[in-house]
Amino acid sequence: MKNKIMSSYILFLLPILVILIGSIGFMLLEDLSFIDAVYLTIVTISTVGYGDLHPTATASKMFGIVIIIFGIGTFLTIVSNVTQMLIQRGRERLRKQRLNMIIGVFFTEVGNKLLQLFVGFDRNIDNIRDDCSLKGDMEAPEFYVLKNKLAKHEAGITPESINFDALSSYLREKSDLLLRQLENPDLIEHEAFTELLWATVHLRDELMYRDDFDMLPESDLLHLTNDIKRVYGLLTRQWLDYLLHLKVQYPYLFSLALRTNPYVENPTVIVE
């Protein structure tokens, strides 16, 4: 980001610097007023040809040649950088679109159901259920306030409240999709979502290596519970970010997401 800002400053200052140097030079060499010197400099740089005002002394002509060379170089540099910035912006927009599609697939195929399972395990869910009953007219600041509130939520997930078999079976079923998403290079720059995927895959691995959850010691059950609570927190934050994206970009999908809200008791897709 800092490099982009610095490049923008340089692109802005380069033509001004060339015009300033040229104006001062022509003022000294041709004994011109500032306005005439600026005019002569711009005419020289633009190579439109001299008319009523032109260099008369040999030194002025040599100076004009230098200004033309630097002026053309500056112009080409600006054109090249602006073109590159526009191309990069287009690529960045496409990359973000692909990334949002990946996140959308995750929540459609895995995330919503997984979050619904976690909500069912959370004995303190009533403390935040009303806040998470999202409305269609919510604006971005409200999403950020809710996100901060959920970050402070103390999940009431205990070994006794977890259906380990159901969770293990579900994550095992979704293994292929989770691994394919981790292999996607577009995820490299989305650290938060990548962290969620890794945490989910780690939880899947932990559960898959255990055959009988009823025979596990309390210490191991607490270990698994902490892994679940970690994924729960990460998933909730990413879910809100995803809903905000849908709200802005795809209102019709946002409407469907509201009707399938994992925090709502007995959600239904039926429009009433």
pLDDT in tens, 66-96: 777 777 777 777 777 778 877 877 777 777 7
- Specify the pTM: 0.70
Given a cut of 70, is residue 167 above it in pLDDT? yes
Cβ contact 167:204 at 8 Å = no
- 221-241 exposure pattern, b = at least 16 Cβ within 10 A, e = fewer: beebbebbbbbbbbbbbbbbb
Choose which CATH entry (1.20.1060.10, 1.10.287.70, 2.40.37.10, 3.40.718.10) describes domain 2-89.
1.10.287.70
Cβ contact 131:149 at 8 Å = yes
The per-residue pLDDT for 49 is 64
- 242: confidence class by pLDDT, cuts 50, 70, 90: very high
Long-range Cβ contacts of 242-246 (<8 Å, 24+ apart): 242/103, 242/104, 242/107, 242/111, 243/134, 243/143, 244/140, 244/143, 245/100, 245/103
The per-residue pLDDT for 157 is 95
Measure the N-to-C terminal CA separation of the chain; round to a whole number of Å.
Answer: 46
- 6: confidence class by pLDDT, cuts 50, 70, 90: low
The per-residue pLDDT for 47 is 67
Report, as an integer, the average pLDDT of 219-225.
Answer: 96
Average pLDDT, the chain: 85
The CA–CA distances, whole Å, from 146 to 31, 138, 237, 241, 262 equal 68, 11, 9, 11, 15
The per-residue pLDDT for 231 is 96
Report, as an integer, the average pLDDT of 179-183.
Answer: 87
What ranges do the domains of the chain cover? Answer: 2-89, 94-259
